[in-house]
Amino acid sequence: MAQRVGLECSLAVSEAVKLANADVIAAYPITPQTHIVEHLSELVASGELDAEFVPVESEHSAMSACVGSSAAGARTFTSSSSQGLALMHEILYIASALRLPIVMVVANRALSGPISIWNDHGDIMSERDINWVQFFAENGQEVLDLTITAFKIAEDHRVTLPVIVNMDGFILTHVIEPIEMPEQNEVDAYLPPFVPAQKLDPAKPISMGMVGVPEVYTEARKACVDALEKSYPFIVEHWNDFAAQFGRHYKPIECYKTDDAEALFVTMGSLSETAMTTVDELRAAGQKVGLVHIRLWRPFPTDDFLAAIGESKPLMVLDRALSPGCNAGPVATELRALLYAKGKTHYVANFVAGLGGRDVTRADFKSMMAKTLSAAKSGAPMPYEMVGVKE
């Protein structure tokens, strides 16, 4: 019987990795990811998790060691954040190109400079195009559950791609929440041991990571892109299976009071909970608004998103990262491109908020929605605003 325990969300990640019975963890410390690897090293030290903990000398080597261990056929986990994730950047592309089912939890944090240890999505938005499956978790329970499903999805031979589970730094990593811990036998039933599609084995030699001459490079990249796009139904399938077994259902796009809504918030990560409360408050005041929460970021669930936003409702898209030199944040830029390509005419207002750990309150959400509605009504050019800049 699953038990509900008070647990820091970082520790929930480590417990998920233990429940997944990972074989290798290679990691380097970086705030706010540290509690994850600290607890994992404790679990390995105490014998509760039978795994190799490789305390590498940098994140670049962490991802490199993960590539090696996954290629050798071992279930492999790491976690990182911010500058560390940026240091891994080069190897992230190679991990997905080699089709290695590594699972990584990213404790989202702002990038330098100035140096900031606090939360935003600048780190992961710099890694949009690495060809990994990417989720955004909203709370501790979701982080634990999604980490377990991440192994299942990554290792499915119809997918064989690495997976990132994003969790907001500090806002989630350092917060204690009531979390329902699945039983080991339940997880074992859901997640059998890793059977690699191919591995480094002297009995059956293969060459991995060969030179891609111009005649093959395009095709190799296309194979990678196709694998990511084709992973969508299997992600949904595994989330459905998880729901059937554990009773918690995760969807690529989550809707909250959208059916009769006249305008929608669009968010990712933990701020979705603030947005949800704001929706309740605005509805109590007679304003029909709703929330569309993006959980699956890569591959982007286009059809689910279009179904969620309905016809011609103004959208208030919240970005927690900048795309300097562009006229919107990264999420809004993508959504506008998507809508345009699909012949949609939704009014998209874009606000960049919560950079470097700045609080985003319900009052901020209300103000952003008010601006969105008034701009949409007037038909003025679509706003793009960095919220709360002190002049």
Q: Give the binding site for other proteins (CB under 8 A).
A: 23-24, 26, 50-52, 54-58, 60-62, 64-74, 76, 90-91, 94, 98, 193, 200-213, 216, 220
Residue identified by tokens 């890569």 is: 298
For other proteins, give the closer residue by CB, 97 or 228: 97
Residue 134 CB, nearest distance to other proteins (Å)?
Answer: 21
Residue 214 CB, nearest distance to other proteins (Å)?
Answer: 11
For other proteins, give the closer residue by CB, 206 or 341: 206
For other proteins, give the closer residue by CB, 44 or 175: 44
**Contact at 8 Å (CB) between 381 and 346?**
no
For other proteins, give the closer residue by CB, 214 or 324: 214
- Give the DSSP per-residue string, 9-50: HHHHHHHHHHHTT-SEEEE---TTTHHHHHHHHHHHHTTSS-
Torsion of CA 275, 278, 279, 285, to 10 degrees: -170
| Rounded Cα gap, residues 358 and 361, in angstroms | 10
Asked if omega into 47 is within 30° of 0 (cis), the reply is no
Residue 101 CB, nearest distance to other proteins (Å)?
Answer: 13
Q: How many CB atoms lie within 10 A of CB 341?
A: 9
Residue 203 CB, nearest distance to other proteins (Å)?
Answer: 8
For other proteins, give the closer residue by CB, 187 or 309: 187
- Give the DSSP per-residue string, 170-206: TTTTT-EEEEEEPPHHHHHHHSPPP--SS---TTS--
Residue 302 CB, nearest distance to other proteins (Å)?
Answer: 32
